[in-house]
Amino acid sequence: MIEPLLLKGRPRPDSTCTMRVDPAASGLRHAGLEVHRLAAGTRLRRETGAREVCAVLLAGRADVRTEGGAWQGIGARQHLFERSRPHAVYAACDDCLEITALGEVEVALASAPARTRRPARLIVPEAIAVEERGHGDTQRTIHRVFWEQDAADALLVAEVFTPAGHWSSYPPHKHDHEAPPEESQLEEIYYFRCDPPQGFAFQRVYAADGRFDASFSPGDGDVVTVPGGYHPVAAAPGYHLYYLNVMAGASRRWCISHDPRHAWLHQRPRA
């Protein structure tokens, strides 16, 4: 199993791209991600090739076009930490995705290998399930942006809002062994944003067999790759935390197993 990585987000003056998780460079075989910040009137064009793509409008409004569809003026939130659900567009393999910013836009292009050509489609905020998970200092809000009920080959995408000082992806769980329904094998990418932006998080990624145990402190715009292992997250006090999860792997099912050493946390009294 390859080891997890911390990738630092670095805006470049010659590019709209602030983050790219290239499978070849990261060691991930399935999950991929690009994040772009577009000025008003900027156009981003991507051929999907052998991958399917879910374009999530993190903030701002845009016109989005594919070979089979066009949607004008989509974008549900002006600021990411409004915590409302986003608009997204799914484009299958062998398609072309074109995004034109109508103001300042931040868009994430989550991707995974695919073979099935499907019609592109718009995902509206009202269609995205919201889950309140955990309690007390593990409470967080999850948006299932592109999930198992949405037709696709491999890709799963979710957003998580974690309040300041809370833990998330907790109790520690993993999904690196293909044995559904107990567990599925899914790589995962965490794209972090912080409010205020000078904030930071902590994430530990550790293998059940001890092959690796790494701890990271991602900041605003950073990524942690999770090829496998348990991967809990903590938001620093005073800083609200957002992360976009991109998952893909051997099967398109989200089945998790918890670290048995922390199983008692499931039985503790609710706060």
Full set of structural domains in the chain with CATH? 5-267 (2.60.120.10)
Q: Does this model's pTM top 0.85? A: yes
- Asked if residue 161 lies in contact with residue 140, where contact means CB atoms within 8 angstroms, the answer is yes
Those residues whose C-beta lies under 8 Å from the C-beta of residue 191, and which sit 6 or more positions away, are 19, 33, 35, 108, 222, 223, 243, 244, 246
Q: Quick one: residue 16, left, alpha or beta (phi over 0 = left, psi -120 to 50 = alpha)?
A: alpha
Taking the chain (271 residues) in consecutive chunks of 10 residues, what is each chunk's mean pLDDT? 90 88 88 97 97 98 96 94 97 97 97 96 97 94 96 97 97 93 95 98 95 97 97 98 96 93 70 42
pLDDT recorded at residue 268? 59
pLDDT recorded at residue 267? 64
Cis peptide before 269 (omega within 30 of 0): no
